[in-house]
């Protein structure tokens, strides 16, 4: 018997009817003879609503208490899914992250999984009981407090469990039927991708394709977990995320265009162009736990330069504080902050060998009247910072330029090419 981990996102369990649908899916998999481990997110927007509730009490909730509060969302949904399975005549038991043996460090709000001790899960499976596990949470081995693993981290719980249990596949059930060449909510002509390599999916997730959480893709890659992203509402195959087996991958140069409107830009203006200044700045940000994304330093004029960088909007207050402190210490002329930015990225393993891609992307943006403010690249990605209010037209322009709606021939259908 093989183990299958099935993860259901918030919209898949948003109400009682959907919870019954999820339970039927789990029951069908169990009836087919597989051992199912289900991981469930909080219902609908529960996590966001709980966070807002906390903000009505205090602008600075103690991180320990915030995690106690947020983790309760998943506790509700797992109990309801287990009840729905009982209604279908199956034996199921719900478990919190802590009960399921998800052991983490003590970093509230973005805890890292340190160990998985799934003894209760394996015992349940041996008894023929279906374990239903609360995603997104764990327990700190150090403080014994409940922790949460960061936004979208039920994906991480599912993939970590799939790795620990040696599951055949980790199925991510969501409200779209796979990974698309762009967010289908912005580009209606986006195409469903059959298979995406871990590397490409990692770049896509890190640049805003929120269908999979970036850290979970990294874990899947490191542990070689086969991931299948598919719809909770239909039975069709979705998108497989796996190692880059050349024969099975699509021949496309570009896989997708992604966008992200969750960042802000800070600029330190008129910085003395001397060794050690950038080090001071980024050390001050690191001390505040701020994650930096893009960094651009301009050419210097008369011994002074500007340094711009982007950070998650959720970190912008701490980042601004840090930049102000460094600005005073080094005698910079000004600090500016801009929250109306967006990042648009083009991702594709084939761009390594196609040098024209960068120029094509910039031309597409310019033809759409979109100004590029910052640029960064990796071997398989190009990202540009643009104005937030132009993001939808920018996505469509780039998607169109690279003809991403068009079906790509699979190599596997042409085995003679492998000779
Ligand atoms: P869940 O609650 O199931 O975890 P999420 O809201 O986290 O679901 O992720 C699914 C959403 O991701 C979709 O509704 C879709 O709008 C968005 N999305 C963004 N980019 C993509 C993409 N390239 N392919 C598919 N979905 C995408
Ligand atoms: N409920 C959590 C969140 O909204 C975890 C998840 O849905 O993956 O981020
Ligand atoms: Mg999600």
> What is the CATH classification number for the domain harbouring 107?
3.40.1160.10
Q: Is the CB of 308 under 6 A from ligand 2?
A: no
Query: What was the pLDDT predicted at 104?
Result: 98
User: For residue 207, is it within any domain?
Assistant: no
For the chain, the distance separating the N- and C-terminal CA atoms, rounded to the nearest angstrom, is 37
Among protein residues, the one whose CA lies closest to atom 8 of ligand 2:
152
As given in the structure block, the two tokens for residue 26 are 């789990």
**CB distance 226 to 240 below 8 Å:** yes
* Cα 292 to middle of ligand 3, angstroms: 22
pTM of the model: 0.92
Domain check: are 369 and 255 in the same one? yes
Domain check: are 372 and 264 in the same one? yes
User: For residue 151, is it within any domain?
Assistant: yes
User: For residue 67, is it within any domain?
Assistant: yes
Query: What was the pLDDT predicted at 274?
Result: 87
Query: What was the pLDDT predicted at 249?
Result: 56
Ligand nearest to the CA of 210: 1
User: For residue 208, is it within any domain?
Assistant: no
Backbone angles phi and psi of 345, in degrees to 5? -135, 150
298: containing domain: 246-419
Interior angle at CA 349, CA 343 and CA 352, nearest 5: 95
CATH number of the structural domain spanning residue 252: 3.30.2130.10
User: For residue 229, is it within any domain?
Assistant: no
Dist CA 23 CA 4 (whole Å)? 15
Query: What was the pLDDT predicted at 352?
Result: 85
Q: Is the CB of 210 under 6 A from ligand 1?
A: yes
Q: Is the CB of 153 under 6 A from ligand 2?
A: yes
Ligand 2 mutation target, pool 7, 8, 10, most atoms within 8 A of CB = 10
User: For residue 204, is it within any domain?
Assistant: no
Domain check: are 131 and 250 in the same one? no
Domain check: are 40 and 158 in the same one? yes
Ligand nearest to the CA of 154: 2
**CB distance 81 to 39 below 8 Å:** no
Domain check: are 253 and 161 in the same one? no
Q: Is the CB of 232 under 6 A from ligand 1?
A: no
Domain check: are 165 and 285 in the same one? no
Domain check: are 277 and 165 in the same one? no
Domain endpoint, select from 175, 190, 216:
175
Q: Is the CB of 214 under 6 A from ligand 1?
A: no
Domain check: are 152 and 256 in the same one? no
- Residue with token string 């580009």: 187
- Biggest CA–CA distance in the chain, Å, is 77
Please give the number of the atom of ligand 1 that sits closest to the Cα of 182. Answer: 23
Query: What was the pLDDT predicted at 25?
Result: 97
Ligand 2 mutation target, pool 153, 160, 215, most atoms within 8 A of CB = 153
The stretches of 166-297 forming alpha helices (DSSP H) are 198-206, 214-223, 277-287
Ligand nearest to the CA of 11: 1
As given in the structure block, the two tokens for residue 14 are 């948003």
Domain check: are 40 and 131 in the same one? yes
**CB distance 203 to 345 below 8 Å:** yes
Number of domains in the chain: 2
Q: Is the CB of 152 under 6 A from ligand 2?
A: yes
Angle between helices 214-223 and 198-206 (to 10 degrees): 160
Q: Is the CB of 154 under 6 A from ligand 2?
A: yes
* Cα 177 to middle of ligand 1, angstroms: 9
Domain endpoint, select from 175, 207, 226:
175
Among protein residues, the one whose CA lies closest to atom 5 of ligand 1:
211
User: For residue 250, is it within any domain?
Assistant: yes
Taking the chain (419 residues) in consecutive chunks of 10 residues, what is each chunk's mean pLDDT? 95 98 98 97 98 96 98 98 98 98 96 97 98 98 98 98 98 97 97 95 96 97 98 95 69 90 96 90 91 88 92 93 93 94 95 90 98 94 97 98 84 40
User: For residue 314, is it within any domain?
Assistant: yes
Ligand nearest to the CA of 136: 2
> Distance of CA 142 to CAs 18, 198, 278, Å?
37, 32, 35
């Amino acid at each position: 018997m093989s183990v299958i981990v099935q993860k259901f996102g918030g919209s898949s369990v948003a109400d009682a009817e959907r919870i019954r649908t999820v339970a039927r899916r789990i029951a069908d998999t169990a009836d087919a003879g597989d051992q199912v481990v289900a991981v469930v997110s909080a219902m609908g927007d529960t996590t966001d609503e709980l966070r807002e509730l906390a903000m009505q009490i205090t602008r600075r909730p103690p991180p320990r208490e915030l995690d106690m509060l947020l983790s309760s969302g998943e506790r509700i949904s797992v109990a309801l899914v287990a009840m729905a399975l009982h209604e279908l005549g199956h034996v199921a038991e719900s478990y919190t992250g802590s009960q399921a043996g998800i052991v983490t460090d003590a970093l509230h709000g973005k805890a890292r999984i340190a160990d998985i001790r799934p003894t209760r899960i394996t015992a349940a499976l041996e008894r023929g009981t279906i374990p239903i596990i609360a995603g997104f949470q764990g327990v700190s081995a150090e403080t014994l407090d409940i922790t949460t693993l960061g936004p979208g981290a039920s994906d991480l719980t599912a993939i970590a469990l799939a790795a620990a249990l040696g599951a055949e596949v980790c199925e991510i059930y969501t409200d779209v039927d796979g990974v698309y060449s762009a967010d289908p909510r912005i580009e209606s002509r986006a195409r469903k991708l059959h298979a995406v390599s871990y590397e490409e999916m990692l770049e896509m997730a890190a640049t805003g394709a929120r269908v999979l959480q970036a850290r979970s893709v990294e874990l899947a890659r490191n542990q070689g977990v086969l991931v299948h992203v598919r719809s909770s509402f239909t039975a069709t195959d979705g998108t497989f995320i796996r190692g880059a087996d050349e024969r099975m991958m699509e021949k496309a140069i570009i896989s997708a265009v992604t966008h992200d409107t969750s960042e802000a830009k800070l600029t330190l203006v008129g910085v003395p162009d001397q060794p050690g200044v950038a080090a001071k700045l980024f050390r001050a940000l690191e001390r505040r736990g701020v994650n930096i994304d893009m960094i651009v330093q301009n050419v210097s004029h008369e011994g002074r330069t500007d340094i711009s960088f982007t950070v998650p909007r959720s970190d912008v207050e701490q980042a601004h504080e840090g930049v102000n402190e460094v600005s005073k210490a080094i005698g910079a002329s000004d600090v500016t902050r801009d929250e109306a930015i967006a990042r648009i990225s083009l991702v594709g393993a084939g761009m390594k060998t196609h040098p024209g891609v960068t120029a094509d992307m910039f031309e597409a943006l310019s033809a759409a009247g979109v100004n590029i403010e910052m640029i960064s690249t990796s071997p398989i990605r190009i990202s540009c910072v643009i104005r937030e209010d132009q993001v939808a037209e920018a996505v469509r322009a780039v998607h169109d330029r690279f003809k991403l709606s068009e079906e790509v021939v699979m190599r596997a259908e042409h085995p003679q090419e492998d000779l």
